[in-house]
Amino acid sequence: MARAVAGPEIERLVQLLARVPGLGPRSARRAALQLIKKRESLMAPLAGAMEEVLGKIETCPVCGNLDVRSPCLVCSDPTRDPTLIIVVADVSDLWALERSGAMNARYHVLGGTLSPLDGIGPDDLNIASLIGRVRAGDGGVVGEVLLALPATVDGQTTAHFVTELLRETGVKVTRLAHGVPVGGELDYLDEGTLSAAIRARTTL
């Protein structure tokens, strides 16, 4: 039987923090207390940063990325290769690919994957705008569309669907390689990944 030790404002802060991914009910309580203790050095700047993002955040009308400017920082970067569009399901995938630093391309965020069970059809995703970008050339000539979609059933269904639609544009469509994750133990890998890695083996 826990009773309130502080006003409802603090309880509300704890409850909202508990909904942040990575924090649970218990760590939200610890986080709230630390935020209160460091209210000048952490909570005030954090609240300010949230307010600033809240006032400015927009979905990029070109690619679907989330940013405080429109078009987003990626789309408005003139140094990026305009001939390659990397298609991702979610903004988090865009961020992850950028962290890898492997490509200096532009992106297109579908906003999910086709999922008949969840009632997500082609019209719920930014597929039409992708076809439009490829057709219009997107400020140049798009030579390749790399489908960086999840290696799940829904992700692969989406990849097939998008590939079919892109066929008429004549653009080259590619997908990410399957294989052993770098640093991964073979022992822990599923058969599908191992089979794919064997089929796609490379000569040393």
Shortest Cβ 154–a copy of itself spacing (Å) = 19
Q: Does 47 bind a copy of itself (CB under 8 A)?
A: yes
Does 94 participate in binding a copy of itself (rule CB under 8 A)? yes
Q: From CA 51, how far away is CA 49, in angstroms rounded?
A: 5
Tell me the window of 62-70, 157-165, 173-181, 193-201 that interacts with a copy of itself (CB under 8 A): 62-70
Q: Binding of a copy of itself at residue 72 (CB under 8 A)? A: yes
* Shortest distance (Å) from residue 120 CB to a copy of itself: 16
Tracing tokens 């297109």 back to the chain, one arrives at 108
Rounded to 5 degrees, what are φ and ψ at 157? -60, -45
Is residue 42 within the footprint of a copy of itself (CB under 8 A)? yes
- Alpha-carbon separation of residue 179 from 7, 18, 148, 189 (angstroms): 53, 36, 14, 10
Site for a copy of itself contains 22 (CB under 8 A): yes
Q: Helices H, strands E: what count in the chain?
A: 7, 6
Q: Judged by CB under 8 A, how many residues of this single chain contact a copy of itself?
A: 59
Question: Which member of 61, 62, 64, 73 binds a copy of itself (CB under 8 A)?
Answer: 73
Residue 120 CA neighbour count, 13 Å, CB half: 15
Could you tell me if 112 and 124 are in contact, meaning their C-beta atoms sit under 8 angstroms apart? yes
**How far apart are CB 169 and a copy of itself at their closest, in Å?**
26
CA terminus-to-terminus distance, the chain: 65
Nearest-angstrom CA–CA distance, 139 and 78: 11
DSSP 8-state code for residue 39:
I
Among 81, 92, 140, 160, binds a copy of itself (CB under 8 A): 92
Residues 97 and 86 sit within 8 Å (Cβ to Cβ)? yes
- Give the DSSP letter string of 14-27: HHHHTTSTT--HHH
Q: Which is nearer to a copy of itself, 44 or 128 (CB)?
A: 44
Q: Which stretch binds a copy of itself (CB under 8 A): 30-38, 126-134, 156-164, 181-189?
A: 30-38
By CB under 8 A, tell whether 46 contacts a copy of itself: yes
74 is a contact residue toward a copy of itself (CB under 8 A): yes
What residue ranges bind a copy of itself (CB under 8 A)? 1-7, 9-10, 12-13, 16-17, 19-23, 27-31, 33-37, 39, 42-47, 49-54, 56-57, 65-69, 72-74, 91-92, 94-95, 98-101
